[in-house]
A and B are shown apart, each in its own frame.
Chain A
Amino acid sequence: MKLAGLKSIENAHEDSVWAATWVPATEDRPALLLTGSLDETVKLWRPDELDLVRTNTGHSLGVAALAAHPSGIIAASSSIDSFVRVFDVDTNATIAVLEAPPSEVWGMQFEPKGTILAVAGGSSASVKLWDTASWRLISTLSIPRPDAPKPSDKTSSKKFVLSVAWSPNGKRLACGSMDGTICVFDVDRSKLLHQLEGHNMPVRSLVFSPVDPRVLFSGSDDGHVNMHDAEGKTLLGSMSGHTSWVLSVDASPDGGAIATGSSDRTVRLWDLKMRAAIQTMSNHNDQVWSVAFRPPGGTGVRAGRLASVSDDKSVSLYDYS
């Protein structure tokens, strides 16, 4: 397995690019790449030449998170002021605006079947679940306050939820916090099952293995990529190599590798069998905020693709094989 650079757009946005996600293919069109930026816009790109399809405006502050519905028809974008807009990908029509004051919005992800949108609630120490049929808030998964606060904590002892990830079967929801812990919820029962430990710095990104619903990968400010047994509460391993924060983690569709983007300006490809980085891409000039593998599907699509976006305003596309 390896990465090869395909295309790179130098000034894809007017300012830092913070979020990237793939919109799955539909019957009418192939998969598209969505990017969100500090310049308050969301852009739509057509692979492999990264042709700009459209620029969506309307956010008042930087776009911090993006999520694409598994159907490929709709997507959601959120900005720093916690404004969430759900829109039709092809027409840019606004489908819903999600607001539950004083909710906070950071990481977002659609449930694999597309019935729920999970939103990491930041300082509310909870994850909000929105029904994608009626766009109503159906549940709030709260993380209990720790039993005893740490004296070294000068601020609140509540957890700050930063990232969310669904298991492939949609039964488990993991969320990462600023204090390094990862909470695993049983979604059907809206119950906190347990916490996974291993990081002691913010967990920026989470992803479940697509082939094994027990395995969860996490990236953290401590520079490590951890592999957890999400059911057995065991830290299986920790992979080091990045020299700064690991900002984004994504698993390849075949489950054999993961890609990471880091504050050290590199994109790394990790072989899960060897548990080591087998390739490092250094074409970005600033921290890499998001990496995303293209989901499987689409007519005639066999080759894998990985996209990365950076504070240097660029969007890069790699061939994964």
Chain B
Amino acid sequence: MELEQLKKSVEENPDDSSLQFELGLYLWDNGGDSEKAAEHFVLSAKSDPNNAVAFKYLGHYYSRVTLDLNRAAKCYQRAVLINPNDSDSGEALCDLFDRQGKEILEIAVCRDASEKSPKAFWAFCRLGYIQLHQKKWSEAVQSLQHAIRGYPTMSDLWEALGLAYQRLGMFTAAIKAYGRAIELDETKIFALVESANIFLMLGSYRKGVELFEQALKISPQNISVLYGLASGLLSWSKECINLGAFGWAASLLEDARKAAKASSELASSMSCIWKLHGDIQLTYARCFPWSGGTENSEFTLKTFSDSILSWRSICYSAALSAKASYQRALHLAPWQANVYTDIAITCDLVSSLSDDSDTSSSWKLPEKMVLGALLLECENSEFWVALGCMSDNSALKLHALIRALHLDVSLAVAWAFMGQIFRESDEMKFAKQAFDCARSIDPTLALPWAGSADTYARESTSDEAFESCLRAAQISPLAEFQVGLAWLALLQGNISSPQIFACIEQAVQRSPYYPEPHNLHGLVCEARHNYHTAIASYRLALAAMSIYPESSVKSHAGKVSINLVRSLSKAGRFKESVMECANLKSKGLLDAGGLQIYAFSLWRTGQNDSALSVIRDLAGRISTREKTSIAFPISFICSLLYCISGLDSAITSIQKMPKDFFQSSKISFIVSAIHSLDQSDRLQSIVASTRSYITSQEEIVAMHYLIALSKLLKTGAGDFLGYEKGIAHLSKAIHMYPHSNLIRNLLGYILLAGEGMKDACTASRCCIINVSECANKEGLKSALEVLGGGSVACNVIGNTAPRFSFPTCHCQYLNAPVVVVELQRFLHQEPSNSSVRYLLILNLVQKAREQRFPRQLCRAIERLISVALSDETCSKEGEYKKFQLLLCASEISLQMGNIAESINHARKASSLSLPSSYLFLGHLQLCRAYAANGSTKNMQEEYRACLELKTDSNIGWICLKLIESQYNLEPDANLLEMSLQECSSQKKNSWKEWMAVYSLARGLDSTGKKDFFSAEEFLAQACSLLNSESCLLLCHGAVCMELARQSNDSQFLSLAVKSLSKVQASSLFPLPIVYTLLAQAHGSLGSKEKWEKNLRLEWFCWPPEMRPAEVYFQMHILARQSEDRPETTSGIENYQSPEKWVIRAIHTDPSCRRYWKVLDKLVQHPMS
């Protein structure tokens, strides 16, 4: 039907070009007569010469039906000429030219179209492919980029663009283009392979390997992919080897071997595949690490030998496999000279891994193979270097290297190996020149650095030797370089460095059959205090010596054994140490140092008689001719004699020794220490003579330290130390050496231990705050411990803002506010230091007490205590700390209202294994908790427990007295007083202070009971004992004021004025309320002028933010007085009117009705 209509239309309008075309198109598309269709296309084209589509279809007709290629080309060309964007015509035309080999015409068509129309993307695409084929990479990039604008999702275009970028060396852009192609089509093997190769070239081996693996999933049998994967893994493993990660490299090489194996099965006739397989196996043979060293808990000679054999067999098998692969490669391509050298290298490795010694021929097999390579390429300098390396003939070696340098004078490796030859011949001058030349040419070559290190070491310039060897080991982690580096570090004394640890660990993995790496590994671990690993390493070294005797000298076994016994001793394995020492002694290898270890180990295992015997043997070996070396043995003998036989035996032995033995400072310290313990002073003359050898300032300071300790011990009475003498001596010492932290810390510690009233403040001033140094415990305590303890003992933390209290202690202005911050800083720096955490908790508890136990701070303290209690420590000091922490936790819980928890903590504290004087405090806390809980019966039980336990803590008795008085617990009225007096009398220094505190407590208790007469008596007694303490005077003055009010007796007013005046005189700064009381007293005595003066002074006592309302109210009174006398206008009260003063008082405390009444009166009846 449609066809008929079209025919009718054409017949009616024979000159209509579009109708002709439509009829032809219908015939063409619907399988009609193509010839007739062509006729209509011709008619259409004739009618409309610009009808490009008609020409396109004519082109199709001529090229596909009649095969008239010339006419087809003309039609297509006409179509493109009319419409350059016609991709069908363009592609068809280019295909025709391409089939006919007319590339020039094809390019011309594409270029014309692209120049005419930017949207002729087909032309750009076609042109790009052609340019790519012609290797015109830059032009191809431009064309392809333009084509991609039209076909952005065409994967082939992106792939082509990537290839162009790759050839231009623009690898990053190439990777992106290939990546886009892969995104669009995941099966693009070419893009995957090429981008993987780029990553390998750039050194991103992981990414390259990943892409190869991705390609392998798509095409498992692809030789290119398998080869690329194997190459990538090999390159990656070499990078790991350079890092020293031999195990990692080995695992990568195993994967590489599998990939290479798979590719060789697919194409066994390709030489390069076998070459690659050989490279993989050779690298594996060189890098496979030995394991099973110090990790094995059960060490036997057999297990070590088996592990060595197993490791060696794996390397040997890999080397043999490489040898076979290289031979296959050579067999396939005999003209490849480099494969000859590969076989040579592999044969050399095989012979080194096996014990075969082939002496039948004058030429070694590796030498023969290198000669084969040279026969093919005699001008290859690298092959000559290879010959120089492989040959055992020194003349031939030198000749080969010289020949290589003739060919390439800049061949650094040749210079390096030449230097090696000279070095081995002890021609150090020539060696140095050769190494310097090699290093200047190629600084990244390792051998010149190692060789230079040896030359420096021989010249005794160890620093430069170490740096050079370190550089060599970093560039190429060979076992020889690493062992050398460890030796140099040992000479320099920095063998515990992680750099050395890394090197020697890697060296052991590569050379496990040599004893030297194991011995050095032991030395490194010993220097790092890892004694168990050191012991295992030394035993491995001894095992290596026994299994491979030709690789070591017998005398070295003794040295390694000495190392072993030293580590055993340090590790606390004294029984094993004794056995080893006995074995060495039987062989005659035990030197003086070994004898000391032997004696020490015998003593630690309880064999004192044997130890004494060894000591006598050691003493017999001491020679006075070597004065510089006798100090340590003699010191050791004296110390061990003291430990084994006691003080008298040590003194007797010292007295018998020749005088020449005591001519060193080290011995002086030992003798002085023993002298400190001798109450009879039998070593006085010897000590006096030895001290003349103490010359350096550090030694002098240390001796003063020791003398102070001696005075503490000798001048004490009974169980108490002689604090006064010790303090006196240290005070003199600190005057001479003010910068000595050792002296300062000890002085502070003794002042704290003496428990003097003022000494806590003095102790804090002794120590210097320096976070980075104050933790260094040179003596008994560190500076931070003294400082933290002193801060707690001072009982005043010192708040900055807001003020919670007004302390009367002076030291807070020096360092008290800093302590909490410094403790936090230090805990952050050394988080595992339990002492610092302990001190921080104590200081924070003091802070919480002063701030009336704020909830948030209490919770923080709870968390810290919880952590501290969970940290297990078994020492006696730890038990005491745990006790203190439990008491702190109990107090915090009590203040937070959690009485049950408080009782629980206190009960735990009371159950610890501590002296009774400490447990007293635990039960005292239980008393307080039960009192708060209202449990009278339990409280009484705890009270009786306290009486039975007793304590030497004054504050404990005073607190117990307060509880007794408050809750009417008086089974024996005099027992507490007697106990307190007994306790105080034992510490003569602070007797007055503690009795004063006791009287203060009694006075406060009486005040609570409204018995002001008794309170006044107690407080007067306290003031008489401690007449400069502000708080005592303040309390006494206040009580006198109350008594004066009650009894209307002016005598109490006078007493009050006297005490209150002393308060301000002795305080570092004015205390609030005191002036108000003084004003009241003076007013009562009739002195109006003094009344006004003191009221004004009260104003200035308060910080502005803390002034109470009453102070403002008092100002209003003064202001009214001033209004009555206008001539006095200079006082503080005149700044505002009385009404305004009252308003400020009301603003501060709106709840006071008295203020409102006064304000009302002032407003209603203003002064006129």
Taking Cβ atoms with an 8 Å cutoff, the residues of A that contact B are 15-16, 18, 38, 60-62, 64, 79-83, 99, 101-104, 106, 122-124, 147-148, 150-152, 154-156, 158, 160, 162, 178, 180, 197-200, 202, 211-212, 214, 220, 222, 224, 226-227, 229, 231-238, 240, 263, 275, 311
Question: Complex Cα distance A237/B505, Å?
Answer: 11
Which residues 859-881 of B have a CB within 8 angstroms of A? 859-861, 863-864, 866-867, 869-873, 875
- For the complex, what is the distance from the CA of A92 to the CA of B498, rounded to whole Å? 43
Knowing A200-B528, A236-B502, the reply to whether A102 touches B870 (Cβ < 8 A) is yes
Complex Cα–Cα for A102 and B825 (A): 22
Q: Do B571 and A238 touch (CB < 8 A)?
A: no
A156 touches B871 (CB 8 A): yes
Q: Is B476 interfacial (CB-CB < 8 Å)?
A: no
Q: How far, in Å, is B1119 (CB) from chain A's closest CB?
A: 40
Tell yes or no: B531 within 8 A of A by CB. yes
Total chain B interface residues with beta-carbon distance under 8 A: 51
Instruction: Find out whether the CB atom of B860 lies under 8 angstroms from the CB atom of A235.
Output: no
Q: Considering the chains assembled together, what is the distance between the CA atoms of A61 and B867 in angstroms?
A: 15
- Among residues of B, the one whose C-beta sits closest to the C-beta of A276 is B474
Minimum Cβ distance to chain B for residue A237 (Å): 6
The 8 A-B residue pairs whose C-beta atoms are closest, nearest first, are A60-B860, A102-B870, A102-B866, A160-B832, A235-B502, A238-B498, A200-B528, A151-B572
* Cβ-based interface call for B501 (8 A): yes
Bound complex: CA A145 to CA B244 (Å): 29
A233 contacts across to B, CB distance below 8 A: 247
Q: What residue of chain B has the Cβ atom nearest to residue A39's Cβ?
A: B821
Q: Are A236 and B497 in contact, with the CB atoms below 8 A?
A: no
Contact of B501 among A80, A152, A238 (CB under 8 A): A238
- Subset of 7 A-B contacts with CB under 8 Å: A60-B857, A60-B859, A81-B860, A101-B866, A150-B531, A156-B871, A200-B529
- Please report the C-alpha to C-alpha distance between residue A16 and residue B506 in the assembled complex, in whole angstroms: 41
- Interface contact A38-B825, CB-CB below 8 Å: yes
Query: Is A83 a contact partner of B248 (Cβ separation < 8 A)?
Result: no
The reply to whether B245 and A229 contact each other, CB–CB distance below 8 Å, is: yes
Q: Tell whether, in the assembled complex, residue A236 and residue B867 are in contact, meaning their CB atoms are under 8 Å apart.
A: no
Evaluate contact between A122 and B832: CB separation under 8 angstroms: yes
| Given contact pairs A124-B870, A156-B871, A224 touches B864 in the complex (Cβ within 8 A) | no
Does B831 sit within 8 A of A, measured CB to CB? Answer: yes
Q: Which residues of A contact B871 (CB under 8 A)?
A: 123, 156
From B244, B246, B572, A237 is in contact (CB under 8 Å) with: B244
Within B140-188, the residues touching A (CB, 8 Å) are none
B731 at the interface (CB under 8 A from A): no
Q: How far is the CA of A178 from the CA of B831 in the complex (A)?
A: 9
- Contact (A226, B498) CB under 8 Å given A102-B867, A235-B244: yes
- Let me know if B680 is at the binding interface, CB within 8 A: no
CA distance A224 to B875 in the complex (A): 34
Let me know if B821 and A38 touch, CB within 8 A. yes
Q: How many angstroms from the CA of A37 to the CA of B857 in the assembled complex? A: 17
Cross-interface CB contact of B529 among A150, A199, A214, cutoff 8 Å? A150
A199-B498 contact, Cβ under 8 Å, with A64-B828, A101-B863: yes
CA distance A232 to B287 in the complex (A): 14
Question: Does B429 count as interface, using CB distance less than 8 angstroms?
Answer: no
CA distance A160 to B243 in the complex (A): 30
Q: How far is the CB of B828 from chain A (nearest CB, A)?
A: 6
18 A-B pairs besides A81-B861, A235-B502 with CB distance below 8 A are A62-B828, A80-B827, A81-B863, A83-B863, A101-B863, A122-B832, A122-B867, A150-B529, A152-B570, A155-B834, A200-B529, A200-B530, A224-B499, A227-B243, A229-B243, A229-B245, A238-B499, A263-B772
Which residues 109-164 of B have a CB within 8 angstroms of A? none
B244 lies within 8 A of A236 (CB): yes
CB B92 to nearest CB in A, in angstroms, measures 47
A148, chain B: closest CB distance, angstroms: 6
Q: Check A238–B247 contact: CB distance below 8 A.
A: no
Measured between beta carbons, the chain B residues less than 8 angstroms from A152 are 529, 570
Contact B863 A160 (CB under 8 A): no
The answer to whether B867 and A103 touch across the interface, beta carbons within 8 angstroms, is yes
Contacts of B498 in A (CB 8 A): 198-200, 220, 222, 224, 226, 235, 238
* Shortest CB distance B255–A (Å): 14
Chain A residues lying within 8 Å of B827, measured Cβ to Cβ, are: 80
Q: Is the CB of A222 within 8 A of B497?
A: yes
A contact residues around B571 at 8 Å (CB): 148, 150-151
Complex Cα distance, B840 from A275, in Å, reads 41
Q: In the complex, which residues of chain B have a beta carbon less than 8 angstroms from the beta carbon of A122?
A: 831-832, 867
Residues of B within 8 A of A154 (CB): 875
CB within 8 A of A38: which of B251, B824, B867, B870? B824
List, in ascending order, chain A residues with CB within 8 A of B246's CB: 234
A231 contacts B248, C-beta separation under 8 Å: yes
Report Cα–Cα, A230/B824, bound state, in Å: 33
Cα A224 to Cα B501 with chains together (Å):
12
Residue contact B860 to A156, C-beta cutoff 8 Å: no
**Residue interface bits B216-257, CB-to-A below 8 A is 1, else 0:** 000000000000000000000000100111111001000000
Q: Determine the chain A residues whose CB is within 8 A of the CB of B856 once the complex forms.
A: 60
* Contact of A106 with B831 at beta-carbon distance under 8 Å, contacts A83-B860, A232-B247, A234-B246 already known: yes
Q: Chain B's nearest CB lies how many Å from the CB of A287?
A: 8
A227: chain B residues within 8 A (beta carbon): 243
| A residues in contact with B496, CB < 8 Å | 200
- Determine whether the beta carbon of A229 is less than 8 Å from that of B828: no
Q: With the chains together, A92 CA to B844 CA distance in Å?
A: 28
When the two chains form their complex, are residues B506 and A234 in contact, meaning their CB atoms are under 8 A apart?
A: yes
Asked if B585 is an interface residue, CB under 8 A from chain A, the answer is no
User: Is B944 close to A, CB under 8 A?
Assistant: no
Q: How far is the CB of A193 from chain B (nearest CB, A)?
A: 14
- Determine if B831 and A61 form an interchain contact, defined as CB atoms under 8 angstroms apart: no
Q: Is B532 an interface residue (CB 8 A)?
A: yes
Q: Are B499 and A240 in contact (CB under 8 A)?
A: yes
Closest residue on chain B to residue A64 by CB atoms = B828
Chain A residues within 8 Å of B244, by CB: 234-237
Contact of A82 among B832, B840, B863 (CB under 8 A): B863
User: Taking each of A103, A200, A222, A224, which has the highest tally of chain B beta carbons within 10 Å of its own beta carbon?
Assistant: A200
Chain B residue at smallest Cβ distance from A224 = B498
Partner of A81, one of B474, B831, B864: B864
Cα A154 to Cα B833 in complex, Å, equals 12
Bound state CA distance, A237 and B477, in angstroms? Answer: 10
A198 to chain B: which residues have CB within 8 Å? 498, 501-502
Q: Least Cβ distance of B473 to chain A in Å?
A: 10
Interfacial chain A residues near B531, Cβ < 8 Å: 150
- Taking A123-B867, A199-B498, A236-B243 as contacts, is the C-beta distance between A162 and B824 under 8 angstroms? no
Q: Verify B248–A232 contact, CB threshold 8 A.
A: yes
B206 on the A face (CB < 8 A)? yes
Interface residues of B in 817-848 (CB under 8 A from A): 821, 824-825, 827-828, 831-832, 834, 840
Nearest residue (CB) in B for A146 is B532
| Complex alpha-carbon distance, A81 and B867, angstroms | 9
Residues in chain B near residue A214, CB distance under 8 A: 248
Known: A18-B828, A82-B863, A235-B244. A156 touches B501 (CB 8 A): no
Answer whether A234 and B828 are a contact pair too, CB < 8 Å, given A82-B867, A148-B532, A220-B498. Answer: no
A265 to chain B, nearest CB (A): 11
A16 to B583, CA, bound (A): 58
Closest residue of chain B to A157 (Cβ to Cβ) is B872
Most buried by A among B246, B505, B827, B871: B871
Residues of A within 8 A of B860 (CB): 60-61, 79, 81, 83
In the complex the two chains form, what is the Cα distance from A148 to B497 in whole Å?
A: 24
Instruction: Please give me the residue from chain B that is nearest to A60 by CB atom.
Output: B860
User: What is the chain A residue whose CB lies nearest that of B502?
Assistant: A235
Cα A58 to Cα B827 in complex, Å, equals 20
Pairwise interchain contact B497-A237, C-beta atoms closer than 8 A: no
Asked if A80 meets B824 with Cβ closer than 8 Å, knowing A158-B872, A212-B206, the reply is yes
| Contact B502 A104, beta carbon cutoff 8 Å | no
Asked whether, in the complex, the Cβ of A224 is within 8 Å of the Cβ of B474, the reply is no
Q: Choose one: B247, B528, B825, B834; the contact of A229 (CB below 8 Å).
A: B247
* Docked pose: A224 CA to B857 CA in angstroms: 38
